Amino acid sequence: MDISYDSYIIMASKSSLRADYQAYLRFKDGLSFLKQLASTPKDTFKHNGEIIKKPLKQHEAKKVMDKLSLGKYDENFKKVFHLVK
- For 16-30, write each residue's pLDDT tens digit: 899 999 999 999 999
Does 71 score more than 80 pLDDT? Answer: yes
What's the Cα-to-Cα distance from 37 to each of 14, 21, 45, 47, 70, rounded to whole Å?
Answer: 25, 24, 8, 11, 19
Strands (E), 1-85: 44-47, 50-53
φ, ψ of residue 51 in degrees (nearest 5) = -90, 120
What is the pTM (predicted TM-score) of this model? 0.85
> What is the end-to-end Cα distance of the chain in Å, rounded?
21
